[in-house]
Copies of this chain bind each other. A is one copy, B any other.
Amino acid sequence: MLSKKTKYGLKALTYIARKKGDAPVRVSEIAESENIPPKFLESILLTLRKSGVLGSKKGKHGGYYLRQDSTEVKMTDVMRVLEGPIAMVPCVSLNFYEKCDDCPDENLCSVNKLMIQVRDNTLKVFRSTTLADLSAT
């Protein structure tokens, strides 16, 4: 299941991308418009900024803005920042690989093989989708 964090983060990014102009967008504005708890959203946008997806401006008239054009913001990156690994098991993750405790040889593991297929198909979707696609709708 997708965490609320990821869901809220995607909605907020979409909201920012849809805004005309480059002026920073206030957390409170997004929170109100998208029905997201403001303090929770604050922490989410903070992690997006720390990861480089968003930039921010402090003080009056401050807020968050995209650091690249929305066509450059890939879902693979956003999802990894917000949700973590895209794979359903660590032993199949490209960016967060970990060996399973119980598995003597993952080449012989039936779960491994199945989850590689799921991962590849999910990656295909995320790789071919940008924030611009989300906000186009």
Residues of chain A whose beta carbon lies under 8 Å from any beta carbon of chain B: 1-2, 7, 10-11, 14, 34-36, 75, 85, 88-89, 101-103, 108-111, 113-115, 117-118, 121-122, 124-126, 129, 134-135, 137
Contact = CB atoms under 8 A, between A and B. Distances in A.
Query: What is the count of identical protomers in the complex?
Result: 2
A134 B118 CA distance: 14
A68 to B, nearest CB: 18
Contacts of A129: 114, 117
Contacts of A1: 85, 88-89
Interface of A is mostly: helix
A117 to B, nearest CB: 5
Given A102-B35, A102-B36, A137 B117 contact: no
A16 B20 CA distance: 59
Contacts of A102: 11, 34-36
A11 to B, nearest CB: 6
Contacts of A7: 89, 111
Given A1-B88, A88-B1, A102-B35, A121 B125 contact: yes
